[in-house]
Amino acid sequence: MKSVRLLLDKIASKLMLFLTLSCGFIVFLMVFGLYCKSKPILFAKPLAELIFSSSWRPFKGEFGFFPFIIGTLWVTGVAVIIAVPFCILTSIYLSEYAPKGIREFSKPLIDLLAGIPSVVYGVWGVLVIVPLIKDYIAPYFGTFSTGYSLLAAGIILAIMIFPVIIHVSLEVVRTVPNEMREASLSLGATKWQTIKHTVMRKAMPGVIAAIVLGVSRAFGETMAVLMVAGNVAKVPSTLFDPVYPLPALIANNYGEMMSIPLYDSALLLGSLILLVVVLFFNVISRMILVRVERSVE
């Protein structure tokens, strides 16, 4: 009987190892598949030309991804700049200041934001954010904008990543031992000094991990951004200019006009570039996280 249990335990262990490796292997399988489909355009044109060219004219055989890459980075950057202060301060308030009733009431509402379909965010952005930018924010800065802009996409994307960053940051901050708070307060530190120098220092690796999760969500978001970004293939010079992120390009055009030579391959190359950029930023973020953890220790 004991040998049977040991055998079953070994089988279960090997099965879980196989499933774990399979999940990781899917990423490499996706990269390989996209690369195979992208080979026609990679053989036809230099990679540097494809990445750094700003000319997107499929009918003329010109496929420059630079405006789409920059648009993706700008939209994600604006969203993170808007979201991070709100999310960190919200998680600090809910963890350290808010009464239990407010905390229990707020958490389901924050989680509900994560379950709202992206198209609903897009419609809300078209009805509220776009007119707000067109009629009030852009004129305030002395410029004209249709409202469909980098700023609109950044605001919508920031709201969409709120629940991810807040939820993870809140759980991380609440895992900091109360003994550390009590020790800081006993030495004469104020509550805010305790939070700033003790709690957040201890929780910083987890907070960075939460931000990384939010950035990963922001990079791949398509529908809501597509609806408010303006979708003009040029590098934006201000927050009020339209942008055309890579996910929107793929969603708008894949399956259409596939009779154009290399068009299908170009869009799949765009998918490969998007995947590589996401992997790159996740690796860089992980390296930063490791350094932060070592410095805290």
CATH number of the 47-296 domain: 1.10.3720.10
pLDDT digits (tens, 9 = 90+) for 18-51: 888 887 788 888 888 888 888 888 888 888 888 8
How do strand 62-63 and strand 56-57 relate by DSSP bridges? antiparallel
SS (H, E, C) 36-51: HHHHHHHHHCCHHHHH
Tokens of 295: 């410095």
- What is the rounded CA–CA span in Å between residue 172 and residue 94? 12
pLDDT digits (tens, 9 = 90+) for 143-176: 888 889 999 999 999 999 998 889 888 888 888 8
User: Counting runs of H as helices and runs of E as strands, what totals does the chain give?
Assistant: 14, 2
- What is the rounded CA–CA span in Å between residue 207 and residue 84? 10
SS3 141: coil
- What is the rounded CA–CA span in Å between residue 232 and residue 216? 23
- Domain regions of the chain by residue span: 47-296
Per-residue confidence in pLDDT tens, the chain, 297 aa: 667 777 778 888 888 888 888 877 888 888 888 888 888 888 888 888 888 888 888 888 788 888 998 888 899 999 999 999 999 999 999 888 888 888 888 888 888 888 888 889 999 999 999 999 999 999 988 888 888 999 999 999 999 999 888 988 888 888 888 888 888 888 888 888 888 888 888 888 888 888 887 887 787 777 788 889 888 888 888 899 999 988 888 888 876 656 677 888 888 888 888 888 778 777 776 776 666 666 555
